[in-house]
Amino acid sequence: MTLAEIRTAHTTTLAEAMKANADRTFYAHWPEAPSGKIYGETANDEGLARFQQQLNSPFDRLPSEAASTGNEASPYGFPLGVSYPKISVDDLIARGSAAQTAWQALTPEDRASVLVEALERGAKDFFEIGYATQHTTGQGFVMAFQASGPHAFDRALEAVAMGLSAQSHFAMNVMWTKPMGKISVSIDKSFRVVPKGLNLVIGCSTFPIWNTTPGMFAGLVTGNAVIVKPHPGAVYPIAIVVARVREVLAELGLDPNIVQLAVDTVDAPITLDLVRHPAVRIIDYTGGPHFGTIVEHEAAQHGKIVFTEKAGVNCVVLDSTDDLDRAMDNLAFSLTLYSGQMCTAPQNIFIARDGMKVGSETVSVEAVVEKLREKIDALVFNEKAGPTTLGAVQSTATAARVSEAQGLGLGIVRESASVIQPGFEAARSMSPIVLRTDTSKADIYTKEWFGPISFVIATDSFDQSLNEVTSSIRNHGALSALVYCTDAARSQQAEDAIVNAGAPVSFNFNSYVWVNQSAAFSDFHGAGCNPAGNATFADWSFVTNRYNVVGVRKQA
Amino acid sequence: MTLAEIRTAHTTTLAEAMKANADRTFYAHWPEAPSGKIYGETANDEGLARFQQQLNSPFDRLPSEAASTGNEASPYGFPLGVSYPKISVDDLIARGSAAQTAWQALTPEDRASVLVEALERGAKDFFEIGYATQHTTGQGFVMAFQASGPHAFDRALEAVAMGLSAQSHFAMNVMWTKPMGKISVSIDKSFRVVPKGLNLVIGCSTFPIWNTTPGMFAGLVTGNAVIVKPHPGAVYPIAIVVARVREVLAELGLDPNIVQLAVDTVDAPITLDLVRHPAVRIIDYTGGPHFGTIVEHEAAQHGKIVFTEKAGVNCVVLDSTDDLDRAMDNLAFSLTLYSGQMCTAPQNIFIARDGMKVGSETVSVEAVVEKLREKIDALVFNEKAGPTTLGAVQSTATAARVSEAQGLGLGIVRESASVIQPGFEAARSMSPIVLRTDTSKADIYTKEWFGPISFVIATDSFDQSLNEVTSSIRNHGALSALVYCTDAARSQQAEDAIVNAGAPVSFNFNSYVWVNQSAAFSDFHGAGCNPAGNATFADWSFVTNRYNVVGVRKQA
């Protein structure tokens, strides 16, 4: 396999992906269905077997080191027992720095082609990735397959394509000739991409691939050596991807340390040492706001580029709808999916005290809330769909938060209860709790309640609901907003207010698209302009801040 | 005049400028010669008359305020006596914030067209701008005309075009249809540009337009309201430009406060109050490193976007040449032009103790240095070219620095002496001082000696010269580097080392292009990756960091 072959093999994919980024219409390079027809009839069995073989074993797709580490446990109730090579911070930095020179010397096209090849190889592992994701994050298998497989890989390809578009925009070599009356003067110019330096990508426990591949591949395509530092609770899924990239690099005679996996444990964390190391010039962070703010502060102090996707308080406004059943079906699914453990999941649902207009009728708050409860119940108690939609709760802290919510003394729309995950008796799984309150309890609901916890909040009016949403976005951040409104003027008012506050907004979702979802190549994930984070997957800034263009001029 | 007319009028200009940005070949929208044939036979006389009328008068092209301020003095030896409206920081912020909403609601194309119209109007003032620049900065008239007129306006157009390219890349409205087996689901999507907020542009005293228009126009084209805060010593030139933009905005029925001029004095500065105001979200700064570092720190503390172009220590390596006369002619001009008061002017000239290869001969350090002195003398003592090339020294601090250099006790290649500027007996004008030392005096020459001060530094070898340069770039920043070298291997070594250290590099300049110059639409000014500053005129980051794209999704 040569670089030239890889370039040829992936020209079309890259061209399509660049076009998709510009067009923003539906595009997916990898189909999202975990179907044997698409991925091969034996793919599921092979992936499951590979997952089972990996349990209680060293992860030998990465070169072994003197020491190993790892301490993952499935939210479905068993330890994974996978161990990973343990590499010191100094070694990670030294190896990454040594690897970068040759990588940055490649053309952007070559880097992009190598990365697409790695993604195509990684796609062969989608089923193993699905099981690895299920048993680190708690996601149901289908969601785990989609989120960590096709969707995450599409986000990676999106970032690669954006990086290539950005770097390809300027001519790399030109003869510049300035006319000066009767004479002219010529300068032979070239422009070189200079990556900022080592790119640290810090992952989270709930979306170990989806939230990591954008920064990882954006960093790589722009010439940076990357150190991936997964959450200690969700290493296995991204380890598969890192190993695939290293495999391709090694086959091409490139230094595999262009991308490295840095594994630690909760008891002996190394993330801040990496963040603070002067050779680390770019940091991608997805995860909780507390540590995210520390990372942002460290980066600001030392002039590092930082991309964050923390979390916010996502709001819903219920004003009017043509079809309350479909609206509440949609909202119920968003609250239930992966037990509210998505950074885009709704938390606060505002409704005017007068209720909601449904067609020409007015439906009371009581009736709307009852409808929502009904729809959640229907999903949760559906034997087939309920447990797999909910999945398990990744961390004990989230489970404890549900208990805390139960003790708040607020009105209860829906109680949380244990959920049996068939085949996994010890799974940490529970149904959503929905509480009911009003704006006097803002001190409670304006903080983030990560997990299957939501609040229905009565307000005086649509205007007050909207004010609550925009002030929440400005002060607490948001990654999504959802409005049900059939009135044109109010819809425009909501759109202007929410967009200017800095959050993406969705209207009247009532079908097979949910506010939690953001589609690669179309939806920008993370607005980047509210306290929930400064990064957007994948806008121009997400790639252009990772390198500089430096000119070379020669007298011709 | 309507927006539609303006859009039609400037479509071609914008298309050409966007293409020029991508091609990087020679392009200039405004010719650089201050010629009657181009700008009208009476343009010079009219510009001079307008300048003379403006002296000792209020600047009435901006609306008057209760108070006025202004304290400019020509480096050619007389006070300007121009007064400007004085607006409080609170009023500047309130007016800018109020103006932004309607501006951001325009399409990027409309904003770009309005800005080109303003530039075309401003181009009618090039001669007045030239005199205003001469008598605030000290530049000779021709340079002042070019730097603040066509070159600065081309940099403005470059930023407008980059901003338009960036914002036009993504479709603004799409119907997204996802196939789902037998059914499909459609979402009506739109994407809105949300500017970060008020954009403060802090100017400097030596290039009041050239260094200000890039940030000012980049901020405007991306939808931000802009507050231009010139250096108190060089307000008049940029006031003309701000007034022209406001004139066009007002004629279109837009709020002229979309761009405002904030004038202060050295005794009562307001810059830090603006920098610290929470509504200011973007800061452009060009000027000295000391204040620049304060601005960067303030911005980092409060999550503001900051673009800096401070100053560095620009280095030259003399290794080998085919033609010593032409090489030293070129270098002498770079050292003499505007008395070294360009952020791109060379300061430290490294030469191996063995001397320089000239063709097949070796020329001693002594002889090279003597040649350089000879070339500077020839230029300085040329009655016609000398005084206008040198111009006057903008600040007393720079003049004092020349005296300080004289007292360093280093070997003297060339003494500085007073220069008579014909017609301006009291001009602060002096010829370059060139000192001679070796690497034992690094503590002296590694700091920035802004002004007509340079050092020839003997090293052990080419390799040591190059090491000095790269370590200087990394530790003290640089905006340019110049290498004379005819050896292919050494040239490649120098190119790789200097580019990777983060500075643009020029080789063997021996004609009518000088290392101080950077051409709009071709050369990226400011590498952005060394301590001299983080901004580059005008790369992607220079525009894309000023706004976010926020999505709106509607169930279709």
Question: Do both B244 and B331 map to the same domain?
Answer: no
* Nearest-angstrom CA–CA distance, B189 and A506: 9
Q: Is residue B230 part of a domain?
A: yes
In chain A, residues with a C-beta closer than 8 Å to the C-beta of B26 are 176-179
- Whether residue B504 lies within 8 A of chain A, CB to CB, comes out as yes
Q: Determine, for residues A22 and B555 on separate chains, whether the beta-carbon distance falls below 8 Å.
A: no
| Domain ranges, residue B381 | 315-507
Instruction: Judge whether A456 lies within some domain.
Output: yes
The residue among A164, A182, A516, A552 with the most chain B CBs within 10 A of its CB, best to mutate, is: A552
Instruction: Give the gap in angstroms from C-alpha A176 to the nearest C-alpha of chain B.
Output: 5
- Cross-chain CB nearest to A187 (options B166, B513, B534): B513
pLDDT at B118: 98
> pLDDT over 90 for what percent of chain B?
98
Most B-contacting residue of A499, A510, A523 (CB-CB within 10 A), to test interface: A499
pLDDT in tens, A199-228: 999 999 999 999 999 999 999 999 999 999
**Same structural domain for residues B265 and B366?**
no
pLDDT at A329: 98
Both B275 and B414 in one domain: the answer is no
The pair of three-digit structure tokens given for residue A153, joined into one six-digit string: 């890989």
**Residue of chain A whose alpha carbon sits nearest to that of B304:** A300
* Confidence bin at A110 (pLDDT 50/70/90): very high
Taking the Cβ of residue B171 and every Cβ of chain A, the question of whether any pair is shorter than 8 Å is answered with yes
What is the reported pLDDT for B213?
98
Q: Is A362 helix (H, G, I), strand (E, B) or coil?
A: strand
Residue of A nearest to B167 (CA): A540
Q: Does B23 touch chain A (CB under 8 A)?
A: yes
Q: How confident is the model at residue A108 (pLDDT cuts 50, 70, 90)?
A: very high
Q: Is A534 part of the contact surface with chain B (CB cutoff 8 Å)?
A: yes
Query: What pLDDT is attached to residue A214?
Result: 98
Clarify whether residues B485 and B410 are in a common domain.
Answer: yes
B544 with B465, same domain: the answer is no
Q: Please name the residue that has the structure tokens 């989806």.
A: A210
Considering only CB atoms, B499 lies closest to which of A166, A194, A511, namely A194
B305 occurs within a structural domain: no
- Residues A143 and B367: their CA atoms lie apart, in Å, by 76
**What ipTM was assigned to the predicted interfaces of this complex?**
0.97
Name chain B contacts of A296, Cβ cutoff 8 Å.
Answer: 303
Q: Are B432 and B478 part of one and the same domain?
A: yes
Q: What is the mean pLDDT of residues A495-510?
A: 97
B519 vs A: CB within 8 A: yes
Question: Strand, helix or coil at A515?
Answer: coil
Q: Does residue A347 sit in the same domain as residue A218?
A: no
Asked whether residue A534 is assigned to any structural domain, the reply reads no
Q: Which of B169, B192, B522 sits opposite A22 (nearest CB)?
A: B169
- Between the alpha carbon of residue B379 and those of residues B325, B332, B333, B334, the distances in Å are 13, 8, 7, 11
Is it the case that residue A527 has pLDDT exceeding 90? no
pLDDT above 90 (res B527): no
Query: Closest approach of chain A CAs to the CA of B512, in angstroms?
Result: 7
E strand intervals along A310-383: 315-318, 320-321, 348-352, 356-358, 361-363
Q: Is the dihedral of CA A33, A35, A37, A40 positive or negative?
A: positive
Last residue of a domain, one of A286, A310, A334: A310
Q: Tell whether B264 and B329 lie within a shared domain.
A: no
- Selecting from B177, B522, B550 the residue whose C-beta is nearest the C-beta of A176 gives B522
Which positions in chain B touch A18 (Cβ < 8 Å)?
none
Domain count, chain B: 2
pLDDT at B1: 86
Q: In the A/B pair of chains, how many CB contacts fall below 8 A? A: 201
* pLDDT tens-digit map of B277-312: 999 999 999 999 999 999 999 999 898 999 999 989
* B289 domain residue, yes or no: no
Beta-carbon contacts of residue B81 (< 8 Å; ≥ 6 apart): B55, B56, B57
- Tell me whether residues A522 and B176 touch, CB distance under 8 A: yes
A533 belongs to a structural domain: no
Say yes or no for a CB contact (<8 Å) between A555 and B507: yes
Whether B550 and A504 lie within 8 Å, measured CB to CB = yes
Q: Kindly state whether residues B193 and B250 are assigned to the same domain.
A: yes
Chain A residues close to B23, C-beta within 8 Å: 171, 174
Instruction: CATH number of the domain at B264, please.
Output: 3.40.605.10
Chain B, nearest residue to A22 by Cα: B170
Measured in angstroms, the CA of A191 and the nearest CA of chain B are apart by 9
Among A495, A540, A544, most B C-beta atoms within 10 A, so best to mutate, is A540
- Retrieve residue A513's tokens: 């698209």
Report yes or no: B367 at the A interface, CB cutoff 8 Å.
no
Q: Are strands B433-438 and B453-459 parallel, antiparallel or unpaired?
A: parallel
Question: From the CB of residue B45, how many other CB atoms can be counted at a distance below 10 Å?
Answer: 12
Q: Is A22 exposed, middle or buried (0-12, 13-18, 19+ CB in 10 A)?
A: middle
Q: Which of A166, A191, A519 sits opposite B24 (nearest CB)?
A: A191
Same domain membership, residue B411 and residue B472:
yes
Of the residues A253, A288, A310, the one at which a domain ends: A310
- Confirm whether A26 is domain-assigned: yes
* Domain-ending residue, one of A488, A507, A526: A507
Residues A220 and A105 in one domain: yes
The mean pLDDT value for B128-134 works out to: 98
pLDDT value, residue B131: 98
Residue percentage of chain B with pLDDT more than 70:
100
Using CB atoms and an 8 Å cut-off, which of residues 302-341 of chain A contact chain B?
303
A499 touches chain B (CB under 8 A): yes
- Burial of residue A403 (CB within 10 Å: 0-12, 13-18, 19+) is exposed
Query: d(Cα A177, Cα A188) in Å, to the nearest integer?
Result: 9
Other beta carbons within 10 angstroms of residue B253's beta carbon come to: 10
Instruction: Evaluate whether residue B523 is within a structural domain.
Output: no
pLDDT of residue A519: 97
Is the confidence at residue A1, as pLDDT, over 90?
A: no
Share above pLDDT 90 across residues of chain A, in percent, rounded to a whole number: 98
% residues pLDDT > 70 (chain A): 100
Taking an 8 Å cut-off on Cβ atoms, the answer to whether A303 and B534 are in contact is yes
- The yes-or-no verdict on residue A311 having pLDDT over 90 is no
Given an 8 Å threshold on Cβ–Cβ distance, is B509 in contact with A26?
no
- Determine the Cα–Cα distance for residues A4 and B485; give it in Å rounded to an integer: 34
Contact A500 B544 (CB under 8 A): no
Please tell me chain A's helix, strand, coil percentages from 3-state DSSP, rounded to the nearest 5.
Answer: 45, 20, 35
Domain of B397, CATH number, reads 3.40.309.10
Q: Residue B549's closest chain A neighbor by CA? A: A527
Q: What was the pLDDT predicted at A327?
A: 98
A379 to chain B nearest CA, in Å?
21
Average model confidence (pLDDT) across chain A? 97
Q: Is the pLDDT of residue A234 over 90?
A: yes
List, for residues B386-402, the tens digit of each pLDDT value. 999 999 999 999 999 99
| pLDDT, tens only, A259-301 | 999 999 999 999 999 999 999 999 999 999 999 999 999 999 8
Query: Is the domain of A323 the same as that of A295?
Result: no
Q: How confident is the model at residue A471 (pLDDT cuts 50, 70, 90)?
A: very high
Cross-chain residue pair B549–A555, CB shorter than 8 Å: no
pTM of the model: 0.97
Residues 178-207 of A with CB under 8 A from B: 178-180, 183, 185, 187, 189, 191-192, 194, 196
Instruction: Show the 3-state SS of A293-320.
Output: HHHHHHHHHCCCEEEEECCCCCEEEECE
